[in-house]
Structure 1
Amino acid sequence: MTSDRLYPSRPLLAASVAVIRDGRILLAARGKPPCEGLYSLPGGMVETGESLGEAALRELREEVGVEAELIGMIAPVEFIERDAQGHIKHHVVIAAHAARWVSGEPQTGPEAKDIRWVTERDIVDLPMTAGLSSILEQAFRIARERARP
């Protein structure tokens, strides 16, 4: 984690993606802090000149080797963590997207130490990042609304 991500002077912008395949969403257990070991969506920081959607799809490719097609914006999620003295240790605004799987079998790596395709019922017992269950519910709803005939 670079120094500008710890104790930032301003909120940082990230993008993530809920990839849907055969009624399941791809989740990855975070391989690095913050929230190491918790399941989350593939995603990461938006680079200068990159749209939110481009960042989400790039991070998906880099983290787990999957290609997808965006089908909708879900919602922004804020991750704010304070240290023991009350100082802001992390502040990231994450633009979450829903996408349809196109190709590639997900692979684990440094940023994704475990990968699972989960149904709506599966998410109940998984250790997940804060607010993820609401994002997943919205992604499943978008997928149902935009299902191909």
Structure 2
Amino acid sequence: MKFKNRRNECVTTSDGREIWASRSVTVVVCIVLVCEDQPYILVNQRGTGVPDCQGLWNLPCGYLDYDETTTEAAMREVWEECGVNSLELLQGADCEFFSAPWDISSTPHDARQNVTIHHGLHAHVDRLPAVSNAHNEPNETADIRWLPLAQADTLEFAFNHRARIAKYLSHLERVAWIRY
């Protein structure tokens, strides 16, 4: 059989350890909250402290750390990038995809070799949770918003996240009969 894979690269550290460089695993989180019959989605704007796509908007996202589940990584990224406690939101969720992701993307691209695990939730709330960049890396996030879902097309998104939002909404409609 013939495969198109490339071998992972082995790097030897100065102390003799071998570390294998391979594809990275990322998590992306779609949180849709309905407040006063208006749906909102949690987004943040990439700051000057990130290596790429500065000024563009994205869903909370990031790399999976060692000894961490994708659920834990999703919750951590929402906390770090947006200051939102997703554990509290999960308690009142109408539909949640933290215990199991709603989508997995693994198609390699030239610029990114990520395997992406997509988590999310949908809930009705009396008020939108406060957001904060107090837990960010320096200048990681320039702005954080609960964006009215109807305005999602008004922002320029990094990493094809606008298409991710549309796919998540379609998924919610299929599995939970939630329609926007």
Task: Indicate the TM-score class for this superposition, using the shorter chain for normalisation.
Answer: 0.7 to 0.9
Map of 2:80 onto structure 1? 62
Q: TM-score, normalised by structure 1?
A: 0.73
Q: TM-score, normalised by structure 2?
A: 0.62
Q: Does 1:30 align with 2:46?
A: yes
Match of 2:116 among 94, 98, 102: 94
> What fraction of aligned residue pairs are identical, expressed as a percent?
23
Unpaired segments of 5 or more residues in structure 2? 1-19
Map of 1:74 onto structure 2? 102
Aligned length: 135
* Higher relative contact order structure (alpha carbons within 8 Å, sequence separation ≥ 6): 1
Tell me the alpha carbon deviations over residues 112-139 of structure 1, each in whole angstroms, 9 at most, x when there is no partner: 2111222343121211013212210132
Map of 2:164 onto structure 1? 135
Tell me the alpha carbon deviations over residues 28-58 of structure 1, each in whole angstroms, 9 at most, x when there is no partner: 0112122121111112111122111110111
Match of 2:24 among 5, 12, 15: 12
Map of 1:107 onto structure 2? 132
Q: Does 1:41 align with 2:59?
A: yes
Tell me the alpha carbon deviations over residues 39-83 of structure 1, each in whole angstroms, 9 at most, x when there is no partner: 11112111122111110111111221102228122333468454x
**SS of structure 1 residue aligned to 2:113:** strand
The Cα of 1:105 is off from its aligned counterpart by 1.0
The Cα of 1:15 is off from its aligned counterpart by 0.9
Map of 1:5 onto structure 2? none
Distance 1:114 1:123 in 2: 15
Q: Is the 8 A contact 2:44 2:81 kept in 1?
A: no
Q: Say what the alpha-carbon RMSD is for the aligned residues.
A: 3.0
Code of the aligned partner of 1:28: N
Code of the aligned partner of 1:9: A
Q: Is the 8 A contact 2:58 2:159 kept in 1?
A: no
Which structure's CA Rg is the greater one? 2
Unpaired segments of 5 or more residues in structure 1? 1-7, 83-89
- Farther off after superposition, 33-42 or 61-70: 61-70
